[in-house]
């Protein structure tokens, strides 16, 4: 009986209708466990697999290790049974989230702006459904037509249009590109919120901020606010914790591919599932999904001009470098790490938030088919994944009151990376070193093995 309930409640019982997700996750809890012995690890792996519990960290039962954090969402009907089982095996736990639905409701609470005009009346400190993000993109272009253009990227599984924004100062010279995408995983709402914040900050400050005005002379910014549009809409309308896209499999008996396991970088080799019900189902082949294919084909065409690839996720507070599929470091690993540490230090300077820096396979878990690894493998020298706040207190359901501080500190990290790249590849336009850029100059002593095409 418990196994049946586990399957039903872990997968979620969806009630038709736009607001059905309000009824989900009522009294579900998220538990934090740090197993101490191999026997405890084995029991936890069995518990998670047999009850199909929703692992938030790590994503696979086989990635549960002694001494490492484990975050599990336990459906309300199973909470007591799971806790009793943990107690019987003398496994300590802490309740991170006592009622997931409370956080879900909080993340969807929305102010109504008294202004009808976007972007002036746009509220960047709340989460926005896709319809409003589409409107925001259109209006941000109209209001900043001298700098911003909106471009077609492709179509989603459900035939929605994917657009990216290009921020570019007019110039006679050929400029290089910084790419940033957000929202590859539907439930990570802080990610699209940051992409929007980033665009706002660049447009508001490029005339007054010498760092931004300098790098915009040499670099164009390409921003994809939501990559997984279908999944994002589904997370608003049906299932707040939905992760994947919405491609149907097995004659419509299960849905979704993890787009960050679907790129052509050691695809399907490690840290994935071939079960379409899994959160980390890698698809039927590399770039099998239209969203992945649209972005990959575009970046392939532009790769000789792209100096940096940034992909924004949550949660965990990491800046991750390639690779996830191997512990063998990339040839410019020392420089990648140096720049990431500078970015992490800049971020921490705002609110004291600590980010861990390193390759995915060494400090998080192994995975294959990620966009970050793929971007580096095709020759983009700087490639990073940001895992934004927090470390599990709210997990994927970060409250709206944390949007502003999260975005403010992340902005410092991202502009630190862009500024470093600008100074490396365009040294002729160097400005007088400030204390911040002096710190960055330490990285310039690293032996640089990458050149621009």
Query: What pLDDT sits at residue 41?
Result: 97
Peptide bond into 248 cis (omega under 30): no
3-state secondary structure of 432: coil
The whole-angstrom distance between residue 376's C-alpha and the CA centroid of its chain comes to: 17
And the tokens for 66? 């002694």
Q: How far apart are CA 28 and CA 75, in angstroms?
A: 5
DSSP 224-243: ES-S-HHHHHHHHHT-TT--
Query: What pLDDT sits at residue 441?
Result: 54
Query: What pLDDT sits at residue 116?
Result: 44
Nearest residue to 174 (alpha-carbon basis) of 430, 384, 425: 425
Ramachandran class of 52: left when φ > 0, alpha when ψ lies in -120 to 50, beta otherwise? left
Q: How far apart are CA 242 and CA 264, in angstroms?
A: 23
pTM: 0.90
- Catalytic positions: 387
Q: How far apart are CA 151 and CA 221, in angstroms?
A: 13
Query: What pLDDT sits at residue 22?
Result: 53
**With a cut of 70, which residues of the chain have pLDDT below it?**
1-23, 111-120, 429-453
């Amino acid at each position: 009986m418990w196994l049946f309930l586990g399957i039903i409640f872990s997968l979620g019982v969806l009630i038709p209708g736009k607001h059905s997700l309000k009824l989900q996750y009522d009294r579900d809890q998220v538990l934090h466990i740090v197993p101490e012995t191999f026997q405890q690890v084995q029991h936890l792996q069995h518990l998670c697999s047999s009850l199909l519990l929703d692992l938030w960290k790590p994503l696979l039962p086989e990635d549960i290790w002694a001494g490492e954090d484990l975050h599990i969402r336990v459906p309300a009907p199973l909470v007591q049974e799971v806790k009793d089982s943990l107690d019987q095996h003398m496994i300590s736990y802490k309740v991170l989230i006592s009622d997931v639905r409370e956080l879900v409701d909080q993340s969807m609470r929305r102010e109504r702006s008294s202004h009808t005009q976007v972007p002036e009346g746009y509220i960047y400190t709340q989460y926005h459904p896709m319809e409003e993000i589409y409107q925001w993109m259109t209006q941000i272009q109209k209001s900043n037509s001298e700098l911003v253009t909106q471009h077609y990227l492709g179509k989603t599984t459900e035939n929605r249009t994917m657009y990216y924004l290009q921020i570019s100062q007019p110039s006679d010279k050929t400029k290089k590109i910084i790419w940033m995408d957000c929202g590859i995983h539907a439930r990570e709402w802080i990610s699209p919120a940051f992409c929007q914040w980033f665009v706002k900050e660049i447009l508001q400050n490029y005339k007054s901020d010498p760092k931004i005005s300098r790098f915009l002379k040499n670099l164009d910014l390409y921003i994809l606010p939501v990559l997984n549009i279908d999944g994002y809409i589904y997370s608003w309308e049906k299932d707040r914790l939905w992760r994947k896209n919405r491609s149907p499999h097995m004659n419509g008996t299960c849905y979704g591919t993890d787009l960050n396991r679907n790129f052509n970088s050691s695809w399907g080799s490690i840290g994935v599932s071939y079960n379409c019900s899994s959160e980390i189902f890698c698809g039927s082949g590399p770039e099998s999904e239209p969203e992945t294919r649209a972005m990959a084909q575009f970046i392939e065409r532009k790769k000789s001009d792209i100096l940096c690839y940034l992909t924004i996720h949550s949660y965990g507070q990491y800046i991750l470098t390639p690779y996830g599929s191997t512990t063998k470091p990339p040839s410019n690993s020392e420089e990648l790490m140096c720049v990431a540490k500078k970015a992490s230090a800049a971020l921490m300077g705002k609110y004291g938030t600590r980010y861990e820096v390193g390759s995915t396979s060494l400090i998080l878990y192994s995975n294959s088919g990620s966009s970050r690894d793929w971007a580096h493998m095709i020759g983009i020298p700087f490639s990073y994944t940001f895992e934004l706040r927090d470390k599990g207190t709210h997990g994927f359901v970060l409250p709206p009151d944390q949007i502003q501080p999260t975005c403010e500190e992340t902005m410092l990290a991202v502009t630190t990376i862009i500024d470093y790249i600008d100074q490396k590849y365009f040294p002729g336009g160097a400005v007088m070193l400030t204390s911040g850029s002096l710190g960055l100059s330490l990285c310039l002593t690293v032996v640089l093995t990458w050149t621009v095409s």
